[in-house]
Structure 1
Amino acid sequence: MSTPGLQRFDNIPETALDWHRAGKETGQKSGQKSGRGAALATVVETWGSAPRRTGSQLVVASDGRIEGSVSGGCVEGAVILAAQESIVSGRHQILEFGVSDEDAFAVGLACGGTIRILVEPIGGTLAEDTLADLVTARAERRAVAYVVDLDSGAGHLDADGYTDRKRMDQSGVEADGKTFVAVHNPPLRLIVVGAVHIAQALVPMARIAGYDPVIIDPRAAFASSERFPGETLTEDWPDEAMAQLAPDARTAVVLLTHDPKIDDPALEVALRSECFYIGALGSTRTHAKRVARMQEAGFDAATIDRINGPIGLDIGAAGPAEIAVSIIAEMTATLRGRSL
């Protein structure tokens, strides 16, 4: 298996913790007993068509480095200044910006509105231990919510509550107007069985959409780094590879080989898992045969109905790239609870 490492779509909490610890170490070396090296800025409320959704984050280091975005550029300068003030004071801030029609248009919006941003200094109102626990949960693929009182700045992690927010992947302010819940779900994964030509189009599209792809194919000629540069590949038999990967509720499984000897073992593991999407390439006749095989394997009708086959939305796709678009669209609709 080629494992270049987990490539996260958004690693702002991890970066913030690294920068804070580096800044603290620098402060201690210079004779200070403690120090803060970074602050997190998080969108808590915004206008409807904003370029960055609620929960989006920007990390600011005391030396001026930044990573991430909270507005697409129109308020970042003011946020950076406020973050550096909070790094010094150790106190959180709530920033509110009224964005004019002219400024909104400049960052791609149809109209203006209001954006509220929470700025938290790490080691101040945002405890280092809390951030470290969050980073650990993300690395272990555990869904957690970071819950913060916007008045006091006190925050804690909640592993069991806010299930609706976690399911919808929706951060936001609660009805009391002062409790902000930032949802941190595990990163989306895509397991592709079959390193075929459609996979060559699908994998880069999935990565852009925020997935960490893994490609399974026991045929070495297909699962090669030349065909999939920089991607995670395994030549293990699909049921063994799937068992190791342990598909969860943030995982999509796509079967592309047309070969039951390869697809079916992976499909059986997927059907026994909580993966949110299962798609299998093939015609209506091919899918009917697949359904019969799964019935013989002991799966009931409701479980078999989880398989999207033929795969993808019916957009009249022709060629690998368009088929990949249809698959990504169907995965997205399933993830977001849309029935199309």
Structure 2
Amino acid sequence: MKLELLRQLNAERQARRAAIIITDTATGDQRLIREDEIAGSDRPDLYRALIRTGRSRPLNEEEGGGFATVMVPPPKLVVIGAVHISQALAPMARIAGYDVTIVDPRTAFATADRFPGVRLVAEWPDVALPGIGVDRWTAFCALTHDPKIDDPGLIHALDKNCFYIGALGSRKTHARRVERLVQSGIDAAMLSRIKAPIGLAIGAQSPAEIAVAILAQMTAALRLEPETATETA
């Protein structure tokens, strides 16, 4: 790999942006495709699909040939609320490869005993989230049922274009949430990105089952095309 190409790739990695290196296996020539350049590229559907899978692979003749090396940032999960669902969701998400952070200003809940090995930030979301690095490769879950805690977190997640945003609560609860956020100046179209009630509709009852439903919905948002991911919700 040429030094300049490596420099560009490292810059994308440091900024937590996805990128693809296409290698001509006959000549050894390489080119870098940044995620924000895909829309104007020669094969946007192919490159988007490669980034969704996160897997490097050979390209067939119809795909242009060569080898695609796919570089995607490791996903993050930020959970607002050190609640029972979070206790089940955090270890599941870590097994699935997520870097997990729990944010909750209620220090009686956000304890190492309840969340062993998980990063805990016992601050209000508007204080905690700017330092966590919430971004496009972050899944965001608001689970406290307390508007004073959940709403600022949701506003931050929408602003940072998280790939998944979910919130606990019934449809009636979410309707009231939408009213509050619209009144605070959030565009109604943006609010449609929030998955609420959170998780796939699998009839989950216990905190562990709800955590499974959430992780499945997160996976669909990360790996499937947007239309397909919406249909599974």
In the TM superposition, what is the alpha-carbon distance from 1:288 to its structure 2 partner? 1.8
Shift in Å, 1:224: 1.8
Aligned counterpart in structure 1 of residue 70 of structure 2, from 183, 186, 195 = 183
Counterparts of 1:303 and 1:272 in 2: how far apart (Å)? Answer: 9
Tell me which protein shows more strand as a share of its residues: 1
- Deviation of 1:140 after TM superposition, in Å, equals 3.0
Where do 4+ consecutive residues of structure 1 move more than 6 Å?
A: none
Query: 1:203: Cα distance to partner?
Result: 1.1
Name the structure 2 match of 1:70.
Answer: none
24, 29, 33: which one aligns with 1:158: 33
Q: Counterparts of 2:47 and 2:119 in 1: how far apart (Å)?
A: 27
Partner Cα distance (1:288, 1:248) in 2: 26
For residue 323 of structure 1, the aligned residue among 201, 210, 228 is 210
* One-letter identity of the residue aligned with 2:99: D
**Structure 1 residue 245 and structure 2 residue 132: aligned?**
yes
User: How far did residue 270 of structure 1 move?
Assistant: 1.5
From the superposition, tell whether residues 266 and 154 of structure 1 become closer, same or farther in structure 2 (CA, over 3 Å): same
Deviations 1:62-107 (A, max 9, x none): xxxxxxxxxxxxxxxxxxxxxxxxxxxxxxxxxxxxxxxxxxxxxx
C-alpha distance in structure 2 between counterparts of 1:306 and 1:281, whole Å = 14
Q: Percent identity?
A: 50
> What amino acid sits opposite 1:167 in the alignment?
R
User: For 1:176 and 1:194, how far apart are their aligned partners in 2?
Assistant: 45
**Deviation at residue 328 of structure 1 after TM alignment:** 0.9
Aligned match of 1:290 = 177
Contact 1:143–1:166 (CA under 8 A) maintained in structure 2: no
Match of 2:24 among 133, 149, 152: 149
Instruction: Flag the structure with larger Rg.
Output: 1
**Cα distance, 1:131 vs structure 2:** 5.2
Equivalent in the alignment of 1:7: none
User: What residue in structure 2 maps to residue 47 of structure 1?
Assistant: none
Q: Distance in 2 between matches of 1:298 and 1:140?
A: 29
Q: Aligned partners of 1:303, 1:176: CA distance in 2, in Å?
A: 34
**Code of the aligned partner of 2:24:** D
Higher relative contact order, chain-length normalized (CA < 8 Å, sep 6+):
2
Aligned mate of 2:116, from 229, 245, 249: 229
SS at 1:308's partner residue?
coil
**Residues matched between the structures, number:** 215
Query: Is 2:153 the partner of 1:266?
Result: yes
User: C-alpha displacement at 1:127, in angstroms?
Assistant: 5.1
Q: Deviations over 1:257-309 (max 9, x none)?
A: 11111101111111222111111111222212211111211223211111111
Q: TM-score, normalised by structure 2?
A: 0.82
Separation of aligned partners in 2, 1:255 and 1:300: 19
Aligned partner of 1:212 in structure 2 is 99
Residues 1:137 and 2:17 are matched in the alignment: no
In 1, the alpha carbon distance for the partners of 2:47 and 2:82 equals 32
- Contact 2:46 2:63 survives alignment (8 Å): no
> Match of 1:213, SS?
strand
2:141 counterpart SS class:
strand
Partner SS for 2:102 = strand
1:117 is matched with none
TM-score of the superposition, structure 1-length normalised? Answer: 0.58
CA RMSD of superposed structures (Å):
2.3
Query: 2: distance between equivalents of 1:312 and 1:165?
Result: 28
* Gapped regions of structure 2 (runs ≥ 5): none
Displacement of 1:244 in angstroms is: 2.6
Aligned ranges for residues 166-205 of structure 1 at < 5 Å?
166-168=47-49, 169=51, 170=53, 171-172=56-57, 173=59, 175=62, 177-205=64-92
